[in-house]
Amino acid sequence: MGLKTRKTCFTAAKAIAFATVSLTALGATQAWAQEAEQQEKQSAEKADQIIVTGIRGSVNSANNKKRKSKQIVDAVVAEDVGKLPDNNVPEALARVPGVQIDRAHGEGSSVTIRGLSDVQTTINGTEASSAGSRSLNLSDIPAELLKSVEVYKTRSADQIEGGIAGTVNVELRRPLDLQKGLTVAGSFRETFSDLGDTKSPYASLLLAARFDTGIGEMGFLLNGSYTKNNYFENYVVSESPQQIGFFLGSPSNLALPVDKRNTIIPYAINYGVEEGSIERPSLNASWQWRANEHLDFVLEGSYLGAKSIDERNNLRIQTNNDQGTFTNLVTNSDGTIRSVTINNTGAQGVPGGPLNLYIKADSDTYNTNFETHWRSDKVQINFGAQYNWTNRHEYFTQSQYRFSGGTVANVDFNSPNIPGGGPFVTFPGVNMNDPAAYKLYQVHDQRGDNNDTLFASNVDITVETSTTGLLRSAQFGTRFTKRTAYRDYGYRDAFFFTTATAPTMNAVGAATGIGVDSTTPEISGAPTWYHLGGASLYDNFDAMRKYLIGNGADLTGRNWTTPEPVTTDPGESFAETERTFAAYGQLNYAFDLSFPIDGTIGLRYVNTWGSAVSQRSSWKAFLPNGTPDYGQGVAYSPTGSKANYTDLLPSATAILHFTPKLQLRLSYTHNVSRPQFYDMRSAINILDATTSGRIYAGNPDLKPVQEDNYDASLEYYFGKGGLISLGTFLKNQTGFMYYTELREAVPGLAPNPLAADGLYIVGKPRNAGPGKIFGIEAQANTFFDFLPGFAKHFGMNVNFTYIPEGRLELYKDGSTPDVPGVFDAPYTSKYSGNVALYYDTPVFSARVAYNYRSKYKTYADYVNPAYSVYMRETSRLDAAINYTPFKFVTFSVEATNLLHNNANTYFGAFQSFPTGVRQQARTIQTSARFRF
């Protein structure tokens, strides 16, 4: 069955009607309010029951976490067992001051804190990460498992180092958090999306028991969840802007008028459809034993799985090439390209046609943790040990096609057909409705495997020294870790380079049993195109392999006899081991001037050492003229490196309690972020050294990013859940990591014969120059308890972040280009904020929330900085209503992206040159939760 645009029953009128009903419900609940007031008076919680209920309870608990912390911290607390205010962790964090997120596949994905993406993740305070990364994919953690999510914007000496953006601590429930006896809770929900009419089911179940025994109090908890996110998205995207014709003097470049030869053009454009699913099974198990008031134990483990199927169907054209000709080239007033006609009457035709990509990926993350805590009147000793392991396997197949008779393509780089503007292509003279017009051009498959492990152990000691003196307590401790990271990678390509003689798509399908599908994106004027079905190709790839071998495909020297590619690029594979030892000391002080002051002063020492193993790639032999003898193939030899470095991380905080309700929090911290394992691989690829003078490599000499962080936060707490705060922050960084190509000598290689200075162009990750982010955060939340009647159940939350300076100096060699935005730090929006209106009673609650984020740079393009990609401003309006007819069951209806905002991108210095758009789904979700 083809991937086709599907009609949807979710119309704009229905979305507006839903929003209207939600808002009307906020103001028309007098009867429910009276019933709620009666239940409120009758529902005092037991003292030992730590269960937050409702929006009010969630806000109160988050405020208490912030108020009592020694650091700058914000939190999101579950409204009930299995109920965060949003559908996943990133979506909930988007409501926190200073936190911004990206969205993909209809859900929140990556998180940035105060304009920085290097976020450390912990589970119940212990380090956690995904395969191939130093942090956890937060969207893989189901909201149903969570008790709260804490965002630490500063770090104290007793906290794990890493993540200059901050730390996101995911707090999973433990059995002694719950009431005594048996607790059973669960939820069911289904999400309906207006793009593709997809439906996504979710379910969770919690079983817990807390009871007294002859040897103390014990508790057991088992919390499981299953989610499946089915998504369907339309998108348009441009790739890699570069010199038209690749370089001055190429055949296609010379065919242009002289005044057009310096035009910048994207390498390729794509528009199409992406659809698929992400299944996330998860389980959290916990055992606690409180032997007595002095001693307790915790043993817990969690499993987070993610199994995805993703299919992308593009109509793609390589808009830049050095063959053929460019005609009808039109530029905008700022010199950017507006439109062009691409011509190629040769045997290959224009390099455009359908592209199908089908990906299956499975990841499994296991975290285990043991803790014991002993305390006396003056001393507390904590011991912990963790062992985590995580793996990821990805395999995908790809097929590309050319059009028979496709000799011309017209490209409009800012077409009104694209929502918000973007590239659009047509192929005059091609009958795209005729499957016989499609010729197979390329088949590709690729696999990647990551396997990581982490062992960590820590001892922490706190000694109380006084209840009235300057020094109230001293903390000190140590931590040891050993981490391994392994990656194995392989790919292969097969081509039919000559379109005129390439087999037709129909012929390939008939010979292999692979079906033909069609795709029609929801883009005005977009055609329907055909391709071999992605799932069918994936399932029948063995037949495709045999067809390629037996029908004259150019196998590019790869081994096509195995079901999946062998390790064909050892330079992309690596094995690394990293060890750390940390020791810290921290003093907690307090004294009185005209008002109480307390805080901490600490220092953390960290020694990091490790090794990396990868491969060097070079040609086995060369011809007499000095060019590689490609027939002899590639030689690989092992490479290795070692590193050892030390960091000292001071920190200090002070909290000035002007009144019991008003306090000023001051903080200084120094933190580091270690490089990613992939960037530190010891690989070096010199295959192009003799033909183009280019070398590509990893960089085991990368150093951690260093950051000095200064914070001040003035906070006023009032009433039940009331908070007004105003904060400012300054983050100074050195050593940001980025990829670029610079001219330099390479140890062990003779001087480059192609360059007068003998230097090679070496592309690898490097440490950049300094960066600086300065900003202001403000927030206010309250419930209107002072109002009469049902109005007292209303509440509001407002927060705003202003970052007037987000600067990153990549260029350390004095070659900084003079272009707008060259120093803009990636991911940093100047303005972001949230407004939420609540109504909360034990029977009925509702929420309407609006989120805004101004434009930001998605990455820094070092080669063409004027063409770094920016995301335009984004916003979302969400709403939810909850009805609890009995205290053990709640029914909810939630809607997201009611205004149907999309994600539009453009090339940085030129808003007239859009990159593309990804449509964002509008969703409605219904759910039921129960607890006993």
Give the pair of three-digit tokens for residue 751: 């001087």
Return d(Cα 465, Cα 533) in angstroms, integer: 71
Query: Which amino acid, one-letter code, is at 334?
Result: D
CA-based torsion, 567, 569, 571, 573: positive or negative: negative
**Predicted TM-score of the model (pTM):** 0.89
pLDDT at 842 over 60: yes
pLDDT at 742: 87
Q: Domain-by-domain residue ranges, the chain? A: 54-209+219-931
Contact 368, 386 (CB under 8 A): yes
pLDDT at 35 over 60: no
3-class SS of residue 815 = coil
Nearest to 838 by CA among 59, 36, 39: 59
Residue 33 pLDDT level (bands cut at 50, 70, 90): very low
3-class SS of residue 48 = coil
pLDDT at 18: 40
pLDDT at 754: 87
Neighbour-count burial of 384, counting CB atoms closer than 10 A to its CB (0-12 exposed, 13-18 middle, 19+ buried):
buried
Lowest mean pLDDT, pick from 1-10, 171-180, 688-697: 1-10
Return d(Cα 180, Cα 31) in angstroms, integer: 34
CATH 3.40.1710.10 fits 54-209+219-931, yes or no: no
Provide mean pLDDT across the span 519-524: 84
Question: Number of C-alpha atoms within 13 angstroms, CB side, residue 353?
Answer: 28
Contact 338, 369 (CB under 8 A): no
pLDDT at 319: 94
Provide mean pLDDT across the span 144-154: 90
For the chain, give the mean pLDDT: 89
Lowest mean pLDDT, pick from 85-94, 503-512, 597-606, 892-901: 85-94
Return d(Cα 782, Cα 787) in angstroms, integer: 12
Return the ∠ at Cα 417 (arms to 415 and 418), rounded to 5°: 80
| Between 677 and 20, residue with greater pLDDT | 677
Non-local CB neighbours of 831 within 8 Å, separated by 6+ positions? 800, 801, 802, 803, 852, 853, 854
Q: Where are the beta strands (DSSP E) in 376-470?
A: 379-403, 408-412, 424-426, 438-464
pLDDT at 356: 97
pLDDT at 348: 84
Non-local CB neighbours of 79 within 8 Å, separated by 6+ positions? 52, 53, 54, 55, 57, 58, 85
pLDDT at 812: 57
Provide mean pLDDT across the span 167-184: 94
pLDDT at 180: 94
Nearest to 137 by CA among 232, 231, 278, 274: 278
Lowest mean pLDDT, pick from 47-56, 66-75, 648-657, 896-905: 47-56
Non-local CB neighbours of 349 within 8 Å, separated by 6+ positions? 402, 403, 405, 406, 407, 499
pLDDT at 621: 85
pLDDT at 810: 74
Provide mean pLDDT across the span 387-396: 96
Return d(Cα 813, Cα 743) in angstroms, integer: 11
Residue 813 pLDDT level (bands cut at 50, 70, 90): low
Over the stretch 448-494, which tens digit does the pLDDT of each residue have? 999 999 999 999 999 999 999 999 999 999 999 999 999 999 999 99
